[in-house]
Amino acid sequence: MNPNEFKRRRKQLMRMIGKGNIAILAAAPQCIRNRDVEYPYRQDSDFLYLSGFLEPESVLVLVPGRDHGEYILFCRENDPEQETWHGRRAGQQGAVETYGADDSFPISDIDDILPGLLEGRQKVFTAIGRYPDFDQRLMGWVNRIKRQSRSGAHVPYEFVAIDHLLHDMRLYKSRAEISAMKKAARISIAAHKRAMRLCRPGLHEYEIEAEFAHEFRRNNAEHAYSPIVGGGANACILHYTENNQPLNDGELLLIDAGCEVEGYASDITRTFPVNGRFTPAQRDIHEIVWQAQKAAIRKVKPGNHWNDPHNAAVRVITKGLVELKLLKGNVTRLIKEEAYKRFYMHRTGHWLGLDVHDVGEYKVGDQWRLLEPGMVMTVEPGIYIPAHSKGVHRKWWNIGVRIEDDVLVTRTGCEVLTAGLPSRVEEIEAFMTEER
Ligand code: GLY
Ligand code: MN
Ligand code: MN
- DSSP string across 281-350: HHHHHHHHHHHHHHHHHHT-STTSBTTHHHHHHHHHHHHHHHHTTSS-S-HHHHHHTTGGGGT--S-S--
Confidence at 151, pLDDT banded by 50, 70, 90: confident
Confidence of residue 32 (pLDDT cuts 50, 70, 90): very high
Query: What mean pLDDT, rounded, does the chain reach?
Result: 97
Average pLDDT (30-38) is 97
Segments of the chain assigned to CATH 3.40.350.10? 3-170
At residue 150 the predicted structure's pLDDT band, cuts being 50, 70 and 90, is confident
Active site annotation includes 346: yes
pLDDT score at 31: 97
Active site residue 344: no
* Mean pLDDT calculated for residue range 17-23: 97
- Index of the ligand 1 atom closest to the CA of residue 402: 4
Decide if 45 contacts 169 (C-beta within 8 A): no
Separation between Cα atoms, residue 246 and residue 203, nearest integer Å: 6
Residues with CB under 5 A from ligand 3 (ion): 256, 267, 404
Coil, strand or helix: which one is 154?
Answer: coil
Count CA atoms closer than 13 A to 40's CA, side-chain side.
5
Mean pLDDT calculated for residue range 278-292: 98
Residue 255 to residue 192: CA distance in whole angstroms: 8
Q: How confident is the model at residue 353 (pLDDT cuts 50, 70, 90)?
A: very high
pLDDT at residue number 245 = 98
pLDDT of residue 213: 98
Contacts (Cβ under 8 Å, ≥6 apart) of 389: 396, 397
Residue 67 a catalytic site member? no
CB of 225 sitting under 6 A from ligand 1: yes
Q: 163-219, pLDDT tens digit by residue?
A: 999 999 999 999 999 999 999 999 999 999 999 999 999 999 999 999 999 999 999
Q: Is the pLDDT of residue 152 over 90?
A: no
Model pLDDT, residue 149: 79
Q: Are strands 222-223 and 259-261 parallel, antiparallel or unpaired?
A: antiparallel
Amino acid at 316: V
Catalytic residue among 36, 67, 133, 434: 36
Percent of the chain surpassing pLDDT 70? 100
Question: How many CB atoms neighbour CB 420 within 10 A?
Answer: 12
- Whether the pLDDT of residue 148 is over 90: the answer is no
How far is the centre of ligand 3, averaged over its atoms, from the C-alpha of 418 (Å)?
Answer: 12
Cβ distance 167 to 25 under 8 Å?
A: no
Catalytic, 204? Answer no
Nearest residue (by CA) to ligand 1, atom 3, is 267
In whole angstroms, give the CA distance from residue 143 to residue 131.
19
Please give the pLDDT value at position 435: 87
The alpha carbon of 380 and the centre of ligand 2 are apart by a number of angstroms equal to 7
Known catalytic membership, residue 167 = no
Q: Where in the chain is the domain with CATH 3.90.230.10?
A: 172-435
pLDDT at position 242 over 90? yes
3-170 is classed in which CATH architecture?
3-Layer(aba) Sandwich (3.40)
CATH architecture of the domain covering 172-435: Alpha-Beta Complex (3.90)
pLDDT at residue 118, as a whole number: 97
**Dist CA 78 CA 83 (whole Å):** 8
Instruction: Express each pLDDT in 102-141 by its tens digit.
Output: 999 999 999 999 999 999 999 999 999 999 999 999 999 9
Q: Is 119 a pocket residue for ligand 1 (Cβ < 6 Å)?
A: no
